[in-house]
């Protein structure tokens, strides 16, 4: 993980707005350990002024904050024209709360309790948006090529035949090449479901995709990141 983070944005700046001191300190420490700059705001008002003045790549905002509610903070920021990506942390994990959070201007929503690996993966994906558009028509990782317009996938000289859903899965992975993508992120973005499957249903899809794009090739591109998720990247880098 450390390696990927440094590849993408060596000095990513993150503002954590969270009133629970212990979990806030834990987050700051954990983000600093992977090489990011992490600042902390303890309430909504402080968070708003820091987010507004500071130049952050991602804001991690707790939904329930003293002085100013998390959603109102985001709304105010957006009204001022501040487009910094926001990830909402909330103890309210239900579908309608998620929708409320995203409607208020949040870019992603993570229910508590969460694993840091999941949070880190999502923050990295979010911050990429800030850096530049990833809406190219062709994605390339190593000798793997995906054409988003003609829906063609090729590895080296071999044309690969993918099912529509496999194509979308690969497209999402390649869009975030070099970044960790978790199982829930895949379920949300590829299948549009927000529940937590009790079985390893995503792993099975991944292993099918892997057998199509990596089988018979010397260098694997689709990697399993233990305890976190998956990543597509050229092994050399």
Partner 1 sequence: MTAFGKLIRTTAFRLTLVYLFLFALFAASLLGYFAWNTRRMITEQITTTVSAEVSEITDIYDRRGLQRLFFAIESRALRPGANLYLVTTPTGQWVAGNVGSLAPGVMGTTGWSETAYRRLDEGDNAYHRALVNVTQLSGGFRLLIGRDLEERRRLFGIVAKAAQWSILVVVILGIGGGIFVARRVLQRIDAMTGTAQRIMAGDLSGRLPVGRSGDELDRLASNLNAMLERIEALMVGLKEVSDNIAHDLKTPLTRLRNRAEEALAKSGCEADYRAALERTIEESDGLIRTFNALLMIARAESGQARGNMDDFDAAEVAEGIHELYEPLAEDGGMTLRLKTAPVSLHGNRELIGQALANLVENAIKYGRPAEPRPAEPKGAVVSLDARQILIEARREGDQVLLSVTDHGPGIPEGERKHAMERFVRLDSSRSQPGSGLGLSLASAVATLHGGELRLSDAHPGLVATLAIPARAGASDRLAVQTPDVPQKVA
Interacting residues with partner 1 (CB under 8 A): 93-96, 99, 111, 113, 115, 165, 191-201, 204-205, 208, 227
Contacts 24+ apart (CB under 8 A), 150-158: 153/213, 155/213, 155/217, 156/217
Minimum distance of partner 1 from residue 166's CB (angstroms): 10
Q: How far apart are CA 162 and CA 153, in angstroms?
A: 8
11 versus 198: smaller Cβ distance to partner 1: 198
Q: How far apart are CA 227 and CA 6, in angstroms?
A: 19
Q: For residue 68, what is the DSSP state?
A: S
Minimum distance of partner 1 from residue 163's CB (angstroms): 8
User: SS3 for 57?
Assistant: coil
Minimum distance of partner 1 from residue 140's CB (angstroms): 26
User: Encoding tokens for residue 157?
Assistant: 């000289």
Minimum distance of partner 1 from residue 229's CB (angstroms): 14
Contact 232, 177 (CB under 8 A): yes
């Amino acid at each position: 993980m450390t390696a990927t983070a440094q590849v993408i944005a060596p000095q990513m700046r993150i503002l954590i707005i969270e009133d629970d001191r212990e979990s806030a300190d834990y987050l700051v420490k954990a983000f600093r350990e992977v090489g990011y700059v992490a600042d902390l705001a303890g309430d909504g008002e402080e968070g708003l002024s820091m987010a507004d003045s500071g130049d952050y790549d991602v804001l991690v905002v707790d939904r329930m904050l003293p002085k100013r509610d998390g959603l109102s903070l985001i709304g105010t920021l957006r009204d001022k024209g501040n487009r910094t990506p926001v990830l909402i942390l909330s103890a309210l994990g239900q579908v309608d709360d998620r929708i409320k959070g995203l409607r208020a201007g949040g870019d992603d929503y993570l229910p508590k309790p969460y694993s840091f690996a999941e949070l880190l993966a999502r923050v990295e994906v979010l911050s990429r948006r800030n850096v530049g558009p990833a809406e190219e028509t062709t994605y390339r990782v190593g000798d793997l090529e995906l054409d988003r317009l003609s829906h063609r996938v090729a590895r080296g000289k071999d044309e690969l035949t993918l099912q529509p859903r496999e194509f979308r899965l690969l497209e999402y992975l390649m869009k975030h090449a070099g970044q960790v993508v978790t199982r829930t992120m895949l379920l949300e973005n590829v299948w549009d479901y927000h529940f937590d499957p009790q079985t390893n249903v995503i792993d099975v899809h991944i292993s099918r995709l892997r057998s199509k794009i990596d089988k018979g090739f010397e260098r694997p591109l689709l990697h399993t990141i233990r305890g976190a998720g998956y990543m597509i990247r050229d092994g050399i880098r």
